[in-house]
Structure 1
Amino acid sequence: MLPSLEENKQYLTNGTLWLMAIGAGLVVANNYYNQPLLGMISKEFGSSEAATSKVAMFTQIGYAVGLLLIIPLGDMFRRKKIILIDFVFILASLLAFAFSQSLEMMITASFFIGLTSVVPQIFVPIAAQLSSPEDKGKNVGVVMSGLLIGILGSRVFSGVLGEYMGWRNVFLIAAAMMVVLGILIAWVLPNMQATFDGTYKQLMRSIFRYAKDVPSLRLASLRGALGFGSFSIFWTTLTFRLEQAPFFQGSDVAGSLGLIGIAGALAASVVGYVSGKMNKNILISISAGLMIVSWGVFGVGGNSYFGLIFGIILLDLGLQAMHVTNQTIVFSTHPEASNRLNTVYMVSYFIGGSFGTFIGGRAWGTYGWNGVVVAGAVFMILCLIVHFILCNKQKYKIP
């Protein structure tokens, strides 16, 4: 018989919290190193920009599959064991990407990088489960800040390093970092007990049951998918935009603009604190509104660095605020199934991201920057409309 949540309760130390925050950033970065390098990869393999954008798309598809198949195991087995086994496959995937000799091989490796780099979505439920109710939002926000800084910082790291050392070295260095991080996790992370007693088939069935029975989870998942889809449209096409007039810049500048978005990522911890004191529906409405405004800024000022920088701040701040608020809502329903609830939300989130990447590549190839701006704005307008229609219906009320 498995222990109850209270019997399984351990204290979340500051050291463990910060290791998970830093680890979340370093692991999730594996999914985004390729984005500023797409132009460079396109030239090396002689492939079109639309074809090369599949590298980013298949990374996100792989991440969604990993969330569905791997993350639920955190409720069924000791999470530390799952994480350490997964690190072996992360390392193999990064090395396969670094030594790719064709675009097809790279796309396959990118899928497995996404599939295995799901560890941050085990860290987030750990932070929620080991926190007191009053600290849950704040601690989830800290881990999410690390994760989001990793997403944005990865573009800076890979863009600058790729420009001067080549894109292959970016992934070799990433592999080395995973070795060091794996050793630290083996040393520091608590060895938490499982909370689900059953077969893998029963575990997977329960995921669909939660998706069916928890309306607030479904709404949060839809908002997250549309928000991350909009976000992915911008970051997938930015490197192509900067290669054209009036910028004529390479991957180093595309990556460096990621530093601007870190300000929004840092706000995630603040949002986690505020979400416990402010109406969450209002907070989400404000977040979606900021993202819509950001696309207006990209449309009007997309030919200047000022316009891009101001738009990035609004886009990232809006997404991070919405994402942390969504996850706070999700984790407030069934704490004993935190990994499975997070699976539903994050699978939806990254399906939205991969679809946004696909739409972004098509919009760029057919209509250029104006098509990208319209596509990104449409995603967020739909998000806000769905939120307004459903958030006040009784069954979608936040618990």
Structure 2
Amino acid sequence: MQERKAESPQKAPPTVRPSAERPLIADPDRGRDSARRPGSYGSSGAAALRRPAHDSHPSVFKPPPGVTRPGPPPVDAPRVFPAADDRPIIGVPAGLAASAAESGGPMGSGPTSASAAVFRRRRVAVLLAFVLMTISVLVTGRVVNGSDTSRVRTVAPVASAAPSTAASAATPPTSASAAAQPGAAPTPGKFTFAAGRGPVLGFAGTIRRFRVAVEETVAAGPAGEDVTEFADEVDATLGDRRSWIASRDFRLQRVSESAASEFTVYLASAVTSQRMCASGGLDTERFTSCRLPGRVIINADRWRDAVPNYGAPLSVYRAYAVNHEVGHQLGHGHEACPGGGRTAPVMMQQTYGLRGCVANAWPYLDGKRYAGRRVA
């Protein structure tokens, strides 16, 4: 602490007014040094003020010359007022003075320690806020950029009545929101494709590739049809020895949505299947399935419930529906019942009734092609 300058003999001693409320002594010399740095807190950490100061503003306590105190000043310490001149007054905020008193240190050093503690706390708070903000940005970026891409895609099919000879012609255009979003409401007319490749089905011949897709609304809900399970059933049906591969003229293989394919097997709702089939000139009345060039469209209601009085388990009707519509894609037309009590050909329109025949799901029986008379 700086020593008080010697007072000239001509000057009257400063007035000392005792006060039991707030010990307050202003050091003019210290105030003059602090006032040279605008906005600083001087050596004591208190803001430099110029007169006139508010009457309630606390001042820095300074012991009389020659007196040192290891602890806080007594409550009855006198309050010394400097001569009225233009020199600045160094004020100590009440909070810092109280902090110094509690710490047991001298009042001359208390504000400096309190200011340093405040500065350290603020610096720690700023650093902690910066670290938390950085972690938040990194975590957010990782979540946004690290999210996995869905293994299936959603498209809106556009049926065409024109024949298709290229794989691209059988591929529905991808919608603007292709990837299925978890938790999003299912959209009618949009399909989820089975991912990956299935096994090669058959014994010999060229591989003819196909895709499998399920409409979002058909797959939704606890009783929804899972696209993977539907694809497995299609593979099992077309890979059966009684199915079309028994001809040994070709083999079949399911591929993913992005791969080149000859046709797609769709499982669609009654409304969507009616719309898709109608685009090719076929009226299913929302009841039956259909086939358009490059598109095998299975009515989801028939897939779930078959038809009344079919006389066979649901699994038989499902195999019939797949083999019948894929048979159209392979070039086969409708066939008639060969007679009452006989086995119905797979290309017979069994959905409309068996006409005395027995339900049958397979084009080959006992290794031989089983067919009836061709009908329009």
Larger radius of gyration: 2
TM-score where L is the length of structure 1: 0.22
What's the TM-score, normalizing by structure 2?
0.23
Q: Which has the higher contact order (CA 8 A, sep 6+)?
A: 1
